[in-house]
Amino acid sequence: MISMVVPELGTWEGKIFVGILGFSWATYMWEEYLAYRQRHVYREKVEPPSELKGIMERTTYDKARAYSIDKSNFSMVEGFCSHIINTGVMLYGGLPVFWSAAGKMSEWLGFSVDSEVPQTVAFICLASAVNTVINLPWSVYFTFKVEQKHGFNKQTPGFFVKDKIKKFIVSQIISAPVVAGLVYIIKAGGDYFFLYLWGFTTAVMLFFMTVYPDYIAPLFDKYTPLPSGPLRDQIEELARQIHFPLTKLYVVEGSKRSAHSNAYFYGFFKNKRIVLYDTLLEDYTPLNEDGEAKQNEEETKEETEGEKEKKKTGCSTPEVLAVLGHELGHWKLNHVLKGIIISQVNLLLVFGVFGSLYKYSPLYRTFGFHHSQPAFIGLIIVMQYVFAPYNEVLQFLLTMFSRHNEFQADAFAKSLGHSEQLTSALVKLNEDNLGFPVYDPLFSAWHLSHPPILERIRALEDGEKKEKRFNFFTNQHCANPTIITVQTSTVPTHQHQHCTHPPAPALYSPTNTNTTHPPALYSPTSTSTVLTHQH
């Protein structure tokens, strides 16, 4: 029989337990309060604001409102159930139960009872399997009920199942050696193991950022070179104009998974690639293996003009260039480099604190480990629980930083002469992805790594007004408009949908709540965490 393992409240363990559990529930209640404020906006803003005249049609506004309400209701129920499960894991000693089961699994496979590395790998596999099973009903409901209802889901049940299986297998293949390396370094690294741990983690991150796009991402989606034509020529010219070292240009068939659009770049030094989702491109037809346009049998049937018009989504060539101007602005303004530096400094801090708490037995006893102090369990406790208050503050600061970067990238695209096209692209993406344009100020400040569309359009327009006033008083054109425009247009106020794409700047990430997602050009409900630009 499973019983509660709450430590005595008068002990250090009890105080730590109450503090961790109390902060967890305080954070949950704060998040629910913010969500309640935003749901109130959804309910009350039945009529489009006057600012939206000429920007969003009434029918699109109503659809976006209904979509946002459904997503909010889903998140409320799913979030409550998840928090109850997490609380139960603490109250009933979930970590020791899984650790004990992993030990038996490791012993059954022939490893020594005292061998911590294989037991940790077994623990990770077991915990991942249980998490996958628990999250599966939610994922099924969101994909085939919420997304399907609003026209975004393109997955068949068979594709969905195969995709989940592949993700789980690939995840275990990747995580097993990494976790084994972490545990080995902690156990054998001596007093300064946290420095070796940081170096190892950094090397692993850079390695996977390099190999993921070429060897892992194609396991989930099909990538093909963008065909020759005006769009490719103009993208290459844009890259030359700002000295972006573009080597390859791909289109990914994201339409098999979802109707949401996206784009990102990746690569190191002089070897960078750009990836566009086919759903981003207004008139894109995928190619077959012979390089010829595919013919979809359903599309060969006769359609009415109204049906054809209804299917018209995506961005035109000038608009695609504008959004790529925004994305390449992240590179030009060193947002990616700054993000990597911040994430690495943060990681070193976390490992340093873990190094000082690694052998602090009350931490382990708080979670039911009275006879052992597994290294990886200690790392989980420190990173997930001890650092919880710090993580919340850091999350908010990174959200502000991300918003600041988005305004800067918009200003950079404007400096290239794409202000009007960027505005129209933002409007189109907002419509195509049913992004609700009105937000509660507190919810927006805490959660949105990308400013709401009205703020971005307003910033672009204000920048143009400032530029006109500047030109009037000086009566001359600036020889380097990029620097002037970026500085004067910057607003210093700075994210899963599950993502299978590498960390690089992205165009759209509708439900970005994970660090694997990049900052995107348009992201109506995204939150930022750490800072590799693609979620």
pLDDT in tens, 423-481: 999 999 988 899 999 999 999 999 999 999 999 999 998 865 554 443 433 333 333 33
290 catalytically annotated: no
pLDDT at 3 over 90: no
pLDDT digits (tens, 9 = 90+) for 74-132: 999 999 999 999 999 999 999 999 999 999 999 999 888 888 999 999 999 999 999 99
Asked whether residue 406 is marked as a ligand-binding residue, the answer is: yes
| Mean predicted confidence (pLDDT) in 18-45 | 96
| Mean predicted confidence (pLDDT) in 130-153 | 95
- Residue 453 included in any domain: yes
Q: What pLDDT does residue 462 have? A: 82
pLDDT at 534 over 80: no
- Residue 454 included in any domain: yes
- Long-range contacts, 441-448 (Cβ 8 Å, 24+): 442/34, 442/37, 443/34, 443/35, 443/37, 443/38, 443/41, 445/399, 445/400, 445/493, 446/34, 446/396, 446/399, 447/34, 447/399, 447/525, 447/527, 448/399, 448/403, 448/523, 448/524, 448/525, 448/526, 448/527
- Residue 264 included in any domain: no
pLDDT at 73 over 90: yes
- Residue 370 included in any domain: no
pLDDT at 196 over 90: yes
- Residue 412 included in any domain: yes
- Residue 422 included in any domain: yes
Average pLDDT, the chain: 82
**Per residue, what are the HEC states of 281-313?**
ECCCCCECCCCCECCCHHHHCCCCHHHHHHCCC
pLDDT at 499 over 50: no
Across the beta sheet with 520-522, the strand order is 223-225, 246-252, 271-277, 263-268, 506-508, 520-522
CA 455, CA 215: separation in Å to the nearest integer? 39
**Which is more confidently placed, 271 or 136?**
136
Domain, as residue range, for 504: 391-522
- Residue 515 included in any domain: yes
Q: What pLDDT does residue 511 have? A: 36
70 catalytically annotated: no
Catalytic residue among 327, 431, 455, 467: 327
pLDDT at 487 over 90: no
Asked whether residue 243 is marked as a ligand-binding residue, the answer is: no
Q: Could you give the number of structural domains in the chain?
A: 1
Catalytic residue among 116, 163, 278, 410: 410
Asked whether residue 326 is marked as a ligand-binding residue, the answer is: yes
Helix, strand, coil percent content, the chain, rounded in steps of 5: 65, 5, 30
- Residue 421 included in any domain: yes
